[in-house]
Amino acid sequence: MSDVALKTREFQGGPSLLRAPCRTKSFNSTAAPSSLFQNIPESGHKYYLQFSTEDYRTGVNAGNCLATVLYPKKKSPPVVSITCSHTKDQKEIQEEDNRLYQKIRHQSKPITANNIPDSYGNIEPALEPVWALAVAGSSSIMWQRSTESLGYNLAQVKSIRKDDFVEFDYTVLLHELPSQEIIPCELRLTWLPGRPLKVKHSCLPKFQHFTQINLIS
C-alpha cells in the first residue's frame, strides 16, 4: 500500500524526490502490520498508512509519510492522499533537479541505452539519472494499474532514446505482483524541473517466464 501511495507522489515531482518505503507501522495494535483498514460500503476499501522512507538511490533516511489509499469499488485507479516530511529543504531539491536537468540537456550526443539494469542488477553511473526518470515516469502507469491485490515495480528499462532536450522515449518492463508477470510498456516522458512529469504510455499484453533479467523488487 505504501508503494502505491509513493508512486502518486513520484510522477508529480522530479528525480530528487524518489523514495522507497523502509518501514511500515500501524496506528493501533488491532490493525494489520502496515495499515489501518476501513470498509466504506458506498466507496470501497480505505487504508490509513504511516511509514518511514529512504532515498531511492542512496538508501539514506528520507523522512516519514502519512497517507490514505482508497481502492474504489469501480474499476479505477486508487485515490491517494499523501504528505511527507523532508530531510532536504525545497531549495536543495530544486538545485539537485536543476543540476541533473542541465547535465542531461547539454549532452553532446543523443542518449541511447539498453537493458538498465543489466542481467546482474547493475546500472552504469552515467545512466542513473535517466533510470531515475524512468522510475518516476513509470510510477504513473503503475499507480493507474494498481489494485488492492496487484502491485507493480519497474523491473528494467529495455531501451531509451533522448533527442529533444526534455523528451525521453522509454521501453520499460513492469513486474506485476504477486502474479510475477511482466508487462512491456512504451513511455514518452517530458520533464522540466519544478513541474510535474508529462507521461504518455501504451502497454502490451502480459507475458510470463521472462528470464533474461533478475527482477529487482
- Show which of 61, 84, 107 is a domain's final residue: 84
- Show which of 84, 103, 121 is a domain's final residue: 84
Task: Give the closest residue to 80 by CA, choosing from 125, 44, 42.
Answer: 44
β-pair partners for 51 = 24, 65
Say if residues 157 and 170 touch (Cβ distance below 8 Å).
yes
pLDDT for position 183: 92
What range does the domain containing 103 cover?
A: 94-203
Q: Could you report the per-residue pLDDT of 59-71, keeping only the tens digit for each?
A: 888 888 999 999 9
- Show which of 51, 84, 117 is a domain's final residue: 84
pLDDT band at 144 (very low <50, low <70, confident <90, very high): very high
H/E stretch holding 115 reads: strand 111-116
Q: State yes or no: pLDDT of 28 exceeds 60.
A: no
Q: State yes or no: pLDDT of 12 exceeds 70.
A: yes
127/149 same-domain check? yes
H/E stretch holding 136 reads: helix 128-145
β-pair partners for 151 = 177
Query: What total number of domains does the chain contain?
Result: 2
What span, in angstroms and rounded, lies between the C-alpha atoms of 142 and 9?
Answer: 12
Q: Could you report the per-residue pLDDT of 49-58, keeping only the tens digit for each?
A: 999 898 887 8
Task: Give the closest residue to 198 by CA, choosing from 207, 188, 208, 206.
Answer: 188
